[in-house]
Structure 1
Amino acid sequence: MRADQEREYTEYVAGRLPRLHRTAYMLCGDAHRADDIVQATLTALYVNWKRVAAADNVDAYVQSILVRRYLDERRLRWSRVRLGGVPAHAVSTAAAEHGIVERDALVTALRALPKGQRAVIVLRYFDDLSVEATAEVLGCSAGNVKSQCSRGLAALRDALNPAHVGTTQGSRDGS
């Protein structure tokens, strides 16, 4: 890579790294795996920087790489192995005092979503992408994004508000 291209790459990555890490974390729910996903994304980005830099929407291109790396990682058996002695859902009392319970509940609920719904929710609501931009990143139709988003939000609502589950099911049963 030429020096000017390497400088452009470095500037781009420096400006986007926190957002990329946040997106990866919201997708996988694990800071260490998020680091791995971001590293794989940045490696692919570096190798293809000349092509990426020529793209109309570099951010969408990079987000596509990130989501594909996440989805590829989820297909591997080792991705289901959790290291460490603390269960993912455990929250300390001190953490509860600092308002982390809500974040932990959201991450746990996101983790329970199917990978497609999770990707759509993260891109739409945490990365603030439009339906069209999300469809472009995921390589699917806008209608697919809308339906995955609707299902994902309903599942999150049910997971985060157990009282909502009873009222929703009661209205479906005609009660």
Structure 2
Amino acid sequence: MEYAEFAANRSGALYRSACLLTGGDTHLAEDLVQETLSRMYVVWRRPGRLFGGRAIENPAGYAQGVLYRQFIDHHRRRSSTERPVAELPDLPGPQDDSTLRMTLLQALAQLAPRDRAVLVLRYWEDVSVEETAEILRCRPGAVRSQASRALARLRTLLGEGLADLARR
């Protein structure tokens, strides 16, 4: 498979994951996908697609890992002068998205970046604990405990109103 074909086939899935990770920030999601694809291009051009002395057997999985690490690194590098705000200016309103989707995105956005990455990998991408640990470069036990804590925090953020939204 050529790089252009790979990028065309994977960019949609990468973008959807990036949107979830960024809490709906489409501009940051696009930046993360672009950075991921540019890093994949560099690896793609290497003879035998070697990285760290071994061949990449699953380029799609490798790209997914690059995306998640880019997301976490972005939050580590964020300038100390930037401050989060309660409401973002000039965001479009939900077109035909349900209130539930918007509520979930807002709650996800309030989680720490690593917690968000674990939840999206485990429950949106349906990635195993072991694969999640490999992508995030940690131990499986850390993924389990982090997922448990992140889900508890998400339940706290969503409160009792989630059941009402889910019924609509």
How far 1:63 moved relative to its partner? 1.4
C-alpha distance 9-33 of structure 1, shift in aligned 2 (>3 A): same
| Residue of structure 2 in register with 1:159 after alignment | 157
Any runs of at least 4 consecutive aligned residues in structure 1 with deviations exceeding 3 A, and if so which?
78-84
Do the aligned partners of residues 17 and 144 (structure 1) sit closer, same or farther apart at CA in structure 2, a change above 3 Å counting? same
- TM-score using structure 2 length: 0.79
| TM-aligned CA deviation for residue 123 of structure 1 | 0.6
Change (3 A) 1:70 1:79: farther
1:8 aligns with 2:8: no
> Is the Cα contact below 8 Å between 1:41 and 1:62 reproduced in 2?
yes
The number of aligned residues is 152
SS of 1:71 mapped into structure 2: helix
Instruction: Tell me the amino acid that sits aligned with residue 116 of structure 1.
Output: R
1:24, 1:66 within 8 Å by CA — same for their partners in 2?
yes
Deviation at 1:22, TM superposition (A): 0.7
CA drift of 1:51 comes to 2.6
TM-score for both structures, normalised by structure 1 = 0.76
Provide the rounded CA distance (Å) in 2 between the counterparts of 1:60 and 1:79.
32
Task: Choose the corresponding residue for 1:143, options 141, 144, 160.
Answer: 141
Deviation at 1:99, TM superposition (A): 4.4
Over alpha carbons, which structure has the higher Rg? 1
- Candidates 84, 89, 93, aligned match of 1:85: 89
What's the counterpart of residue 73 of structure 1?
Answer: 74
Deviation at 1:62, TM superposition (A): 1.1
Checking the alignment, whether the CA contact within 8 Å between 1:60 and 1:136 is kept in structure 2 is no
Q: Judging changes above 3 Å, is the alpha-carbon distance between structure 1 residues 81 and 99 closer, same or farther for their aligned structure 2 residues?
A: closer
Using a 3 Å threshold, how does the CA distance of structure 1 residues 20 and 163 change in structure 2: closer, same or farther?
Answer: closer
Q: Which runs of 5+ in 2 are unaligned?
A: 163-168
Tell me, yes or no, if structure 1 residue 26 matches structure 2 residue 27.
Answer: no
* Maintained 8 Å contact 2:71/2:113: no
Render the CA deviation track for 1:54-108: whole Å, top value 9, x for unaligned.
312322211121111111211212775679624x6xx85xx48x44211111111
Structure 1 pair 69/79, CA: closer, same or farther in 2 (3 Å)? farther
Which residue pairs with 2:166 in the alignment? none
C-alpha distance in 2, partners of 1:85/1:14? 32
Aligned equivalents of 1:104 and 1:37: distance in 2? Answer: 21
Cα 1:79–1:56 shift into 2, 3 Å: farther
Amino acid at match of 1:85: P
Deviation at residue 136 of structure 1 after TM alignment: 1.0
Aligned to 2:35: 40
More helix per residue: 1 or 2? Answer: 1
Partner of residue 3, structure 1: none
